[in-house]
Amino acid sequence: MARVHPTAIVDPAAELADSVEVGPYTIVGAKVRVGDGTSIGAHCVIEGPTTIGRDNRIAPYCALGGAPQDKKYAGEPTELVIGDGNTIREYCNFNRGTVQDAGATRIGDDNWIMANVHIAHDCRVGSHVVMANYSGLAGHVHLGDWAIVGGLSGVHQFCRVGAHVMIGHSTAVSQDVPPFMLVNGNPATARGFNAEGLRRRGFDAERIAGVKRMHRLLYRDGLTVEQAREAIDRLGREQPASAADAELMSGFLARVTRGIVR
C-alpha cells in the first residue's frame, strides 16, 4: 500500500502503486496514476488526467497536470504523461495538452529538471534532457533527447529543438535549433556545435568530425537549408560512421517550418 502522509489528500479515484510515497500537505486528484518507486514531496498539487511512471523523484511545491494556459481551452479531457526515472525539482509547473494538438503533454525518461521550470501544454520532451533553473518551454515545443536548456532561457511556442543541442543561459529561442548545435543569446545565435556534450556521450572522433562537417554545411558554406540538407544526405551515404547522425539531421531539417536559428 502507498505510503501517504496523514496530512496529504489523495482522491479515491487516484491510482497509486504500492511503493509510492506522498509527502505532507500534497494533493493528488482523480484520474492520476503513479507508478512504482515514485516519491512526491510536500505541498505538491497533481491534477488529472495525469500519468506518472516509475522511480520519479518529485520535489516539494510542484504543480503537475493543471489545465493548459491557453484561452481556447474549454475543459476538454486532455492529459499529462511523464515517463520513468525523472528528477523534478521544486516549484516546477507542467500543464496538460490541448485538443488543438495531440491532447497530451509528454515527458520522457531520465530527465533532470531543475527548480522553477515551466513546461507548457502540448510539449514533447525527450529523454536524458537537462533543463536548468527558471527555464521554460512555451506551448507545442518539441525538445529532443539529450538536449540541455540553460537557466533563465525560454523557447517560443511551436519551436523544435533537436537532439544533443546545448542552449546557453538566458537565451531566447524563437526558431528551430538543429540537432547537435550550440546556441545562446537574445535572439538565439548558433555559436558552434556541442562538441563537449558529444564526447561525454561517447561520440568518437570520426562521428564528431561528421557533426562538424554538418555544422559547416549549415552555417559556413553559404548554402540554403535545402542545399545543406542535400549535402548532409550525401555525407551520410559517403561516410558510414556519420550515416545515423546525418539521417537525424536531415529528418529534422525536412520538418522545419519556422526557419532555423542562425
Cell of 108: 520522457
- The residues near 31 (Cβ < 8 Å, ≥ 6 apart) are 13, 14, 48, 49, 50
Q: Is 236 a catalytic residue?
A: no
- C-alpha 253: how far from chain center: 19
Catalytic site residue from 84, 101, 109, 122: 122
Task: Answer positive or negative: Cα dihedral of 180, 155, 233, 214.
Answer: negative
Residue tagged active-site, from 118, 121, 128, 142 = 121
Question: From CA 49, how far away is CA 80, in angstroms rounded?
Answer: 7
Active-site entry in 29, 53, 108, 139: 139
Peptide bond before residue 187 is cis, with ω within 30 degrees of 0: yes
Q: Could you confirm whether 145 is annotated as catalytic?
A: no
For residue 242, the 8-state DSSP code is G
| Residue 139 appears among annotated catalytic residues | yes
Enzyme catalytic residues = 121-122, 139
